[in-house]
Amino acid sequence: IPIILVVIWLYGFIYLMGDSLNVITLVISSLSLGVGIDYCIHVTERFREEKLKNKKESISLSLQNVANTSGIALFGAAVSDIMGFLVITFSPMGVFNLFGFYSAAMIGLSLIAALIITTAAICVLEKSDEEE
């Protein structure tokens, strides 16, 4: 679900910027699947490690530990990737401008999906498992 949201957000962002679907935007949307899945798997697996390590802790404490460790690492990686792609926007070739700009946006949206949407989904799913 978080990855589908990233693609929807990305297409919405592209529409708001006044662009349409083309080869560049289609490539970036497929890249967003890979980046977003990577980020979400990282958060999910780190939560599973925290849950196994600290079985007596609450879900929210485990998610806080995820945010304090993996969340900071993902944020740093995403910021460095965003900065790298934003450099491409200074290219005199228009195609590379778009690629850099939308790739940076896609990485930012993937980070939001991983750190906010995925953790919220984990919280909801874990609480429903506790109630059963």
Instruction: Output the DSSP codes for 57-85.
Output: S-HHHHHHHHIIIIIHHHHHHHHHHHHHH
Over range 62-88, report the average pLDDT.
93
Query: Measured between alpha carbons, how far is residue 125 from residues 36, 122, 130 in Å?
Result: 20, 5, 9
Over the stretch 33-54, which tens digit does the pLDDT of each residue have?
A: 888 899 999 999 999 998 888 8
Over range 12-35, report the average pLDDT.
87
Over the stretch 77-86, which tens digit does the pLDDT of each residue have?
A: 999 999 999 9
Alpha-helix runs per DSSP H in 17-118: 23-53, 59-66, 72-88, 94-112
Best mean pLDDT range from 22-31, 40-49, 121-130: 40-49
Q: Is the pLDDT of residue 94 over 80?
A: no
Over the stretch 98-116, which tens digit does the pLDDT of each residue have?
A: 899 999 999 999 999 999 9
Q: What is the CA radius of gyration of the chain?
A: 17
